[in-house]
Amino acid sequence: MSRPAAATLEFREATKRYPGQAEPAVEKLSLTVPAGEICVLVGPSGCGKTTAMRMVNRMIDITEGDILLDGESVRERRPAELRRQIGYAIQQIGLFPHLSVAANIATVPRLLGWDRERIRERVDELLELVSLDPHETRDRYPGQLSGGQRQRVGVARALAVDPPLMLMDEPFGAIDPINRERLQNEFLRLQREIRKTVVFVTHDIDEAIKMGDRIAVLEQGGKLAQYAPPAELLMYPADRFVEDFVGADRALKRLALQRVRDVDLWKAPLVRIGESTAEARAKLADSEVPYPLVVDGDGKPLGWLSERGLAGERVAHELRSDARPLLDMDDILRDALSDLLAEEAQYGPVVDEHGRVTGVLSIEILGHALRTDPEEVPSGADAL
């Protein structure tokens, strides 16, 4: 499928004033989002971040200033026609309850008059893109889906006509923490493929650091406090407001800037049940991990071997504990640390997309990463 290039988005002193209100909701906001990057608008509630986002597709009209999409003013476009070219995903999702999943996704293609066959193919393609089984989900109604599935359909619907720009207003805000993390990772993985320009609104600084290529911190009254890549924001907050908003645990937050695949993992002492204990001991000596990790024939982890497993001539099936937490190459270090702490584990096996062990992440590695300047490592989605 040919892909329209992602658009460059530019706010030029964009201002929104509501009649009867002394303070503007958004004041002279100027920033540029390069094509293909995720720009996160973040700030406390009432800071005008949603207003700023909604001015882009003219859900809210600009009072002064302008917003340019690939150099063209949105004020000169007809709102409905403009909106059909901009993906739109909101926290409450807003799926049409009376339409099937397929019909929901097909909304904008139908408005644009695509033919049936093209729409059908596109719907299936999008469902697969957001990790939903087309056969199973296509004909269901939103009321029959789980919250996470609905959110995926919402993203698929926003992507339907392959828009060069996506607007996302707290798209994962109403999802439980575990699923939110998964959806965030999925979206970043997706973004690696589709490379859209994205305006992403959130009130959660951790989400902003994880998702953003650039972060715009807004303060009360829609004033831009700082616009910078996540690492810069964490290292050099522009003022007290940004510093407070980012939080005292800035150092810890830097863990969100790196992924498991970015750090040097320890080599895992992999053993199989039945192999000679001498061989297993040799592997153990060669590794920084003090316990052998038992894997099956495919290299998938089964658990940590206990001392008794090494007592005989052959490795016996004697596990001291499960191989939890299982970490993914794409997990950010902050999430990996929290998983390790949750399982009270020192070491976590890291698996690739096929579930095979590629190494071990330890608390020690994380400690080292904390001391590293994030300037030296690529940030957020770029790392992928």
Partner 1 sequence: MEIRDRDAGTCVADNGFCPDWIADNLDRYVDPFLQHVLLTVVAVAIGFGIAFGLALLGYRRRWLIGPVTQVTGILYTIPSIAAFFLLLPITGRGFTTAEIALVAYVLLIIFRNVLAGLDNVPAETKDAGRGMGLTERQLLWRVEIPLALPEIMAGLRIAATTTVGLATLAFFAGAGGLGEQIFADITFKSNVVVAGGLAVLLAGLLDALILLVQRAATPWESAQRRARPGRLLARRRAVAAP
Residues near partner 1 (CB under 8 A): 57, 59, 79-85, 88, 90, 92-99, 107-108, 111, 140-144, 157, 167
H or E element in which residue 285 lies: helix 277-285
The residue among 142 and 230 lying less far from partner 1, judged by its C-beta, is: 142
Question: How far is residue 164's CA from residue 9's CA, in Å, rounded to a whole number?
Answer: 10
Q: How far is the CB of 131 from partner 1 (least distance, A)?
A: 21
Closest distance between partner 1 and the C-beta of residue 78, in Å?
Answer: 9
C-beta of residue 374 within 8 angstroms of C-beta of residue 235: yes
Rounded to 5°, angle at Cα 106 from 191 and 72: 60
Q: Report in angstroms how near the CB of residue 183 gets to partner 1 at its nearest.
A: 18
Partners of 305 in the β-ladder: 319
Spatial CA neighbour of 270 closest among 156, 359, 147, 167: 359
Cβ(154)–Cβ(108) below 8 Å: no
Quote the tokens at residue 338: 């929290």
Q: How far is the CB of 138 from partner 1 (least distance, A)?
A: 13
Cβ proximity to partner 1: between 91 and 226 the closer is 91
Residue 162: both structure tokens together: 């392959």
Nearer to partner 1, 106 or 305 (CB): 106
Q: How far is the CB of 162 from partner 1 (least distance, A)?
A: 14
How far apart are alpha carbons 224 and 46 in whole angstroms? 13
Minimum separation from the CB atom of position 163 to partner 1 (A):
10
Query: Considering beta carbons, is residue 25 or 315 the nearer one to partner 1?
Result: 25
Contact 87/166 with Cβ under 8 angstroms? yes
Closer by beta carbon to partner 1, 198 or else 270: 198
**DSSP code of residue 291:** S
Q: Please give the biggest Cα pair distance in the chain.
A: 84
Q: How far is the CB of 166 from partner 1 (least distance, A)?
A: 11
Q: Which CB, 88 or 187, lies closer to partner 1?
A: 88
Which lies closer to partner 1 via its Cβ, residue 71 or residue 143? 143
Instruction: Provide the minimum distance between the beta carbon of 89 and partner 1 in the complex, in angstroms, as a whole number.
Output: 8
Name the residue type at position 94.
G
Beta strand 214-219 with 38-42 is: parallel
**Toward partner 1, which CB reaches closer, 163 or 325?**
163
Residue among 103 and 363 whose Cβ is closer to partner 1:
103
- Exposure pattern of 263-299 as b/e (b: 16+ CB <10 Å)? bebbebbbbebeeebeebeebbeebebebbbbbeeeb
Q: How far is the CB of 58 from partner 1 (least distance, A)?
A: 10
Q: How far apart are CA 186 and CA 74, in angstroms?
A: 30
- As given in the structure block, the two tokens for residue 179 are 């699923």
Sheet harboring 327-328: ordered strands across? 327-328, 347-351, 357-362
